[in-house]
């Protein structure tokens, strides 16, 4: 049962072939079995979830079916406020905070009948090192020695460990799409502002996004419709669509296996009738430095009071980053905003000539210990170059979708992800292309050995 996506579970629940109570119990059993290894959940709300499941079962029995998420278990990143349930932000600073209000996203999911079963691990305040947060870092179900990536680490790991079929993450630089890539699941960073951030602890208010994560594009689309409050009507198939491939900058520092997988994915789309279009994003390398300044200045403002009053409880790296970020000047910030304006215009130009852009989602998951050591390196120490594939979408606010498109040879075999970008408010186009691709591939159906 837990291996099925929500789009298959929903009809079974509606026809009463599967009970919401049975489904929630199966998820709770999987959490109990695997969470000690994976560390995806910070809080499990078992009794509350079972009560909600019994209510959903009775509503469905009476013909009061609310829609495709009714009776489906889910879990949000523990940065979304949940009324009466502690919301830790992955930090000792807010470890005992129990909000008196609900985030808009969890409120909407609850109104659609989705059942919250707990809250998920993350990097502290969505910016920590991953090793000195509230608890141990989440681990990748494909290989416990590897990172699930962050900051929505628990959101990716819980999905691939089959603990829940749906999760919610946040993305300021790559924090939904990185875990989606590393764990072999699907993650959407919506158009900026398309999904409400009310009740979500801020990191950078002009860069933060909230988005759905699941194992299929169809499930992500169903969640997005609820979270955004608007159903997306997308076409079927990719025949006649123009898909831009931006090699150059975005393919730099990729390992050969990833580059081959991306080209093979584009080949599958071409077989389905899509047209490949070569595109170039001018000055793409400007995006990440500009994003770093904006994120840095805004995060220092957001957390100024916590830094003054609770610095001793923070991950030392979080404290160090916030202290350094407070040194950005107004001129630095304004220059970065001007770069954003330039890059928004550039993406309008690029996307005017195609329906979507296909690019990598980065290299496969790194070893967790190596990632932590590299994160803690002082700025003066050179880091291994990484693909710069994520930040431009956050800086410009365009929607971006990541889904699995292969595996490394291993051992261990690790997921490889592809990324799609579209015009602002073009989520339906991303779903259309992603569903067409998943219709002819099975990467999203594969499960880690620990799942059994």
Pairing type for strands 115-116 and 73-76 reads parallel
Alpha-carbon span 258 to 261, nearest angstrom: 5
Note the pLDDT tens digit of each residue in 238-297: 999 999 998 899 999 999 999 999 999 999 999 999 999 999 999 999 999 999 999 999
Q: Is the pTM of this model over 0.75?
A: yes
- Residue 133 pLDDT exceeds 80: no
**Options 129, 153, 175, 299, the catalytic residue:** 175
- Residue 372 pLDDT exceeds 90: no
Answer yes or no: are the C-beta atoms of 420 and 434 closer than 8 Å: yes
Query: What is the per-residue pLDDT for 373?
Result: 67
Note the pLDDT tens digit of each residue in 78-131: 999 999 999 999 999 999 999 999 999 999 999 999 999 999 999 999 998 766
Q: How far is CA 369 from CA 146, 233, 235, 364, in A?
A: 8, 43, 44, 15
Active site includes 19? no
The rounded Cα 148 to chain-centroid distance in angstroms is: 11
CATH, range 6-284+336-451? 3.90.1300.10
Active site includes 77? yes
The rounded Cα 425 to chain-centroid distance in angstroms is: 18
Per DSSP (E only), the strands in 11-131 are: 41-44, 73-76, 115-116, 118-120
**Least confidently predicted of 21-35, 144-158, 297-311, 372-386:** 372-386
**Options 77, 119, 181, 423, the catalytic residue:** 77
Active site includes 175? yes
**Options 91, 103, 143, 151, the catalytic residue:** 151
What are the tokens at 28?
């709770």
Helix (H, G, I), strand (E, B) or coil at 71: coil
The band of 385, judged by pLDDT with boundaries at 50, 70 and 90, is confident
In the chain, domain spans: 6-284+336-451
**Cis check: omega of the bond before 45, within 30 degrees of 0:** no
The band of 416, judged by pLDDT with boundaries at 50, 70 and 90, is very high
Alpha-carbon span 372 to 443, nearest angstrom: 28
Alpha-carbon span 71 to 175, nearest angstrom: 27
């Amino acid at each position: 049962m837990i291996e099925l996506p929500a789009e298959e579970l929903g009809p079974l629940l509606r026809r009463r072939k599967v009970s919401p109570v049975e489904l929630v119990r199966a998820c709770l059993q999987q959490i109990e079995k695997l969470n000690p290894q994976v560390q995806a959940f910070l809080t499990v709300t078992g009794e509350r979830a079972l009560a909600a499941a019994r209510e959903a079962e009775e509503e469905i029995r009476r013909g009061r079916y609310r829609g495709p998420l009714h009776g489906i278990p889910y879990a949000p990143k523990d940065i979304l406020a949940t009324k009466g349930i502690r919301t830790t932000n992955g930090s000792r600073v807010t470890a005992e905070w129990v909000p008196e209000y609900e985030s808009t996203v969890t409120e909407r999911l609850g109104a659609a009948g989705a059942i919250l079963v707990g809250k998920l691990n993350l990097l502290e305040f969505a910016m920590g090192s991953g090793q000195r947060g509230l608890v141990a870092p989440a681990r990748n179900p494909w290989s416990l020695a590897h990172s699930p990536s962050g900051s929505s680490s628990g959101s990716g790991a819980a999905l691939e460990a089959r603990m829940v079929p749906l999760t919610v993450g946040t993305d300021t630089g790559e924090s939904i799409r990185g875990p989606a890539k590393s764990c072999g699941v699907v993650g959407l960073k919506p158009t900026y502002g398309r999904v409400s951030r009310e009740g979500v602890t801020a990191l950078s208010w002009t860069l933060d996004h909230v988005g759905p994560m699941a194992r299929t594009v169809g499930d992500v689309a169903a969640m997005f419709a609820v979270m955004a409050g608007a159903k997306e009507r997308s076409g079927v198939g990719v025949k006649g669509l123009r898909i831009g491939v931006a090699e150059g900058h975005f393919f730099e520092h990729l390992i050969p296996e990833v580059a081959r997988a991306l080209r093979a994915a584009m080949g599958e789309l071409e077989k389905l009738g899509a047209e490949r279009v070569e595109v170039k994003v001018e000055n793409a390398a400007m995006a990440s430095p500009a994003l770093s300044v904006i994120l840095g200045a805004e995060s220092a403002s957001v957390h100024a009071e916590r830094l003054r009053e609770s610095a001793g409880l923070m991950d030392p790296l979080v404290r160090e980053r916030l202290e350094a970020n407070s040194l950005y000047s107004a001129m630095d910030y304004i220059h970065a905003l001007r770069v954003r304006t330039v890059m928004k215009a550039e993406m309008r130009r690029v996307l005017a000539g195609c329906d979507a852009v296909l690019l990598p989602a980065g290299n496969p998951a790194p070893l967790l210990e190596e990632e932590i050591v590299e994160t803690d390196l002082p700025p003066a120490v050179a880091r291994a170059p990484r693909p710069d594939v994520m930040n431009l979408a956050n800086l410009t606010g365009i929607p971006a979708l990541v889904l699995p498109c292969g595996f490394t040879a291993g051992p261990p075999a690790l997921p490889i992800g592809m990324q799609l970008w579209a015009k602002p408010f073009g989520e339906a186009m991303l779903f259309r292309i992603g569903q067409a691709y998943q219709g002819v591939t099975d990467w999203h159906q594969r499960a880690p050995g620990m799942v059994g």
